[in-house]
Structure 1
Amino acid sequence: MRKPDPETEARMKAVMATHARERDERQQQLPAIRLEGEAALRRLLPVAQRDTGQSSVIARFLLNLYNGTRFPFDMTDLRRLDYNLFDDCIAVLKMDFQLLKEVHLYFENGGSMWTALANQWGFKDYDGIESWR
């Protein structure tokens, strides 16, 4: 393998240094991201359990984070949300990006809660089955 020319090598080193700096900054922000994300998740679940148009969007969003293959989510549906709900979704997404644990595990009996959510809304999963059995 040929060694890159000095200019290319310098650009590569600069890119790698920038990436390392961004990673370190994100690691420093991680505790705040997780705190904000968990608080937002705890606000969103009760909304998802209600019976409104925004509730269905939140329910689908949470189910998608739980299992995106089984419960696809159209990101343009976020446009249907109030600003506060949108911001909460983004906070949860940022938390979930650097996964500590699955979203349903932030709640006692979370698996049952997510099953109930899918059943409540009658969402079809990946297999096309109405809700979960």
Structure 2
Amino acid sequence: MNRETRMPKLTERLSERNRQALEAMHAAEADAEQRLARVEKLGPTALLRLVAVAQGDSGQSHHCRRILLAVYNGPEWPLELTRLRVIDRDLQEAALVVIEWATYTGRELHEYLDDGDRLMQRFWLIENGGEG
């Protein structure tokens, strides 16, 4: 096989690899759009569920506050993953949706809540041992 007969085959292989790479990129983009649509649909309800529990005074409330504070200000309130293990299954699901939503949305999640910044400041105070 001489050089001239090998070049078309090389060109065909490269074209096929480029086509496959482009298809993979389109599939990944479509997947990301589906994930975004899912969390935008489920996010508000999940956020309200965590906030409702966080306003209580149980161990579940404490963990929900810490998860919400981690989303609100991660450098000050790092997320300890064991918190996800100790909360009820429905709260785990809500927390994971909220965390995923926070990675995709262009807004801060507390902005979706009525007076959300004040609420997060209240949770901050509670978790620092202050009054609720």
TM-score by length of 2: 0.77
What SS class does the counterpart of residue 60 from structure 1 fall into?
helix
Q: CA deviation at 1:120?
A: 1.5
Q: Which has the larger radius of gyration?
A: 2
What is the CA-CA distance between 1:109 and the residue it aligns to? Answer: 1.3
2:114 is aligned to 108
Determine the C-alpha separation between the residues in 1 that align with 2:104 and 2:19. 25
Answer 1 or 2: which has greater helix percent.
2
- The aligned counterpart of 1:56 is 62
1:85 Cα deviation (Å)?
Answer: 0.4
Deviations 1:83-103 (A, max 9, x none): 100011111122112123111
Q: In the alignment, is residue 44 of structure 1 matched against residue 50 of structure 2?
A: yes
Residue 10 of structure 1 and its aligned partner are, at CA, apart by 5.8
2:127 counterpart residue number: 121
Structure 1: unaligned runs, 5 residues or longer: 124-130
Which blocks of at least 5 consecutive residues in structure 2 are unaligned? 1-9
- After superposition, the Cα gap between the structure-2 partners of 1:68 and 1:17, relative to the gap in structure 1 and judged at 3 Å, is same
Q: Are the aligned partners of 1:37 and 1:93 in contact in 2 as well (CA < 8 Å)?
A: no
Cα deviation 1:8-40 (Å, max 9, x = unaligned): 886576345323312123214423321201110
Aligned residues: 120
TM-score (norm 1): 0.77
Give 1:121 deviation, angstroms. Answer: 2.1
- Judged with a 3 Å threshold, the aligned counterparts in structure 2 of structure 1 residues 66 and 13 are, in CA distance, closer, same or farther, namely farther
- Specify which of 85, 95, 100 is matched with residue 89 of structure 1: 95
Moved more, 18-27 or 98-107: 18-27
- Equivalent position amino acid for 1:102 in 2: E
- Alignment of 1:99 with 2:102, yes or no, is no
Please give the root-mean-square deviation of Cα atoms over the aligned residues, in Å.
2.3
Over 3 Å counting, the alpha-carbon distance change for 1:16 and 1:112 in structure 2 is same
- Alignment partner, residue 126 of structure 1: none
Cα distance in 2 for partners of 1:75, 1:105 equals 24
